[in-house]
Amino acid sequence: MQQRNIVVIGASAGGIAALTELVRGLPEDFSASMFIVQHLPASSPSALPELLSRSGPIKAIHPKDGEAIKPSRIYVAEPDHHLLIEEGKVIVKRGPKENRFRPSIDALFRSAAYVYGPRVIGVVLSGVLDDGTSGLWTIKRLGGLALIQDPKDAIFPSMPINASEYVKIDHSLPVADMAKLLVELTKEPALPRPKLAMKDLKRLETEILIATHDNAFEMGIIEMGQLTAFTCPECNGALSRLKEGNIIRFRCHTGHAFTINALLSEVSEKVEDLLWQGMRGLEESNLLLTEMAAHFEDNGRGDIARRFLKKAQTIKKRARIVHDSVFAQQLISGDFRYESGGSPVGKSTQAVRAGKTRSQRSRSKVKS
């Protein structure tokens, strides 16, 4: 009987600290293959493999497309590239983003579950929103194990919390105890692979292929769900609604994918961007009207100048209304429920702060 020797890990905000602590606890004879997706900026190279290699005894690398999977090796997703698994090899591709990220935790998890089923151990660490929940659900459905960092131990607990709400978790524990548990679990034999209905298996296969290509429409993903009135925030394409247990997700005809949580967050951010653009347009109109008024005043046409000034004052009042609306606008996702109701953990407000940081970036982008 085969061992559980495929470990897939997903992390986002606060994840690097958790990952370094986890690999530090691994023994030299840890024989499983480990695959990591850590959300990082797409525009800069990642030193995460070097950091992890220095932190523990297992070598970590950015794998090349098609590289053979070896035991006792850590494979780290390269920025702006999905990390996927096929039988015996690693796949590195720039397919459509999922939950606004490339690499996607869900894409890695799904591919591992599809190929290795019960041999897979999925781990969700610190992070904001819920990338990894859908993939962890797939791992469980195909006989693998689901682990999460104890939300009380996570710097940003939203990802572990969301995973626990939709997936039956096998182990929730502090990251300091995770290496020891992984050693024990990888020595256990894998259970038989559960059977999936043909239509579910086909959709899983299609979603994995989408992560390697950009021809989701040709693959028929729209027909595998229910067409909605929503549009993709990335490309404005039509979104199809997919359901996995109690998880609601969306895919557009070009391949971008969102959980309902991520979609809500993205839409609310777009609204704020539009409000900033509207305010900027009104302020520019005010400046132009004022300048034209000065021009006519200098040319002895005071009557026309007063008309332009009056219009400028009207526009100024409208700009103030939009200005107040911008600061009243709140970036909302499914994690919004923790703000007023009290999170099950004490650190959840940091996820809200992360949202405010994104808000500040949006304002800077528009102003520039």
Q: Which residues carry out catalysis?
A: 12, 39, 131
Q: What residues have CB less than 8 Å from 44, skipping those under 6 apart?
A: 79
Report the alpha-carbon distance of residue 211 to residue 112 in Å, rounded: 13
- Token digits for 134? 């859908």
Mention every residue, 6+ apart, whose C-beta is less than 8 A from residue 346: 152
Sheet holding 33-38, edge to edge: 60-61, 73-76, 33-38, 6-11, 120-124, 145-149, 171-173
The DSSP secondary structure of 303-368, one letter per residue, reads HHHHHHHHHHHHHHHHHHHHHHHHHH-----GGGHHHHH--SSTTTHHHHHHHHHHHHHHHHHHH-
Integer angstrom CA distances of residue 350 from 131, 151, 155, 215: 17, 12, 8, 37
- φ/ψ (deg, to 5) at 40: -140, 160
The answer to whether the CB of 147 falls within 8 A of the CB of 174 is no
A 10 A CB-CB count for 134 gives 30
Helix H or strand E segment including 138: helix 133-141
Using a 10 angstrom Cβ sphere, with 0-12 exposed, 13-18 middle and 19 or more buried, the burial of residue 167 is buried
**Which of 347, 106, 365 shows the shortest CA–CA distance to 247?**
106
**Residue 79, amino acid:** P
The kind and range of the H/E element at 228 are: strand 226-231
